[in-house]
Amino acid sequence: MKNLGAQEAIYVAGDMGKPEDCERTIQTAKEKFGGLDYLVINHASLSTLKKKNKSPFWDGDMDILHAEVTTNYNSYIQLASLALPLLHKTNGSLVIVGSMAGKIASPFSTFYAGTKFALDGFFTSLRQELVMQGVNVSITYCVIGLVDTGLPAKFKEMFGFLMDIPAAPPSDCMERQRCQKKKNRREERKRGER
């Protein structure tokens, strides 16, 4: 983080599938920094990797679905909800890292895609509600495709195939998110000047 300009970096280890870890994350930021200017929410659970039958198809496994919803949807909303009062004080920014799987439905992603579609709907609606209330918190929803984190290889190993989709290096994805955030802030300032 220091190579990105941070004077100090604080890490909070946690499982975003556990509400108490989400709460501890925001509480730590409040205690250490006194508030928040930015919150980037970017995590995911791919519980399909834990499926017993190893099939990539929807099979009604509600335990897997519950795990996906808890980590990939509920925790995003919990983190954002806990952070909003802090971001409101600083006219801060909330960045939600979504997925192309939440924009274009495809086979073998029913569990994951459902949560990502839900995130887009929730945060698009929340953005409008904040504007209606006069709350100056920016919300950017980033849509990224396949990222080369090692997971594509695991899927290929587990399911025996992988659609021919090129994976981007993580550093490229982060740089695009930073540029989009800056662009959104400039557009918001222009709207405020009218």
CB 69 within 8 A of CB 119: no
- What backbone phi and psi angles, to 5 degrees, belong to 41? -105, 115
Closest C-alpha to 42, from 121, 111, 142: 142
CB 48 within 8 A of CB 111: yes
- What backbone phi and psi angles, to 5 degrees, belong to 40? -105, 120
112 part of the active site: yes
Which token pair is 80? 């954002």
- The alpha helices in 46-193, defined as continuous H runs, are 62-69, 75-90, 110-133, 151-159, 170-193
CB 72 within 8 A of CB 112: yes
Which residues on adjacent β-strands are paired with residue 39? 94
Which token pair is 128? 């409008």
Among candidate residues 38, 73, 76, 112, the one labeled active-site is 112
Active site residues: 112
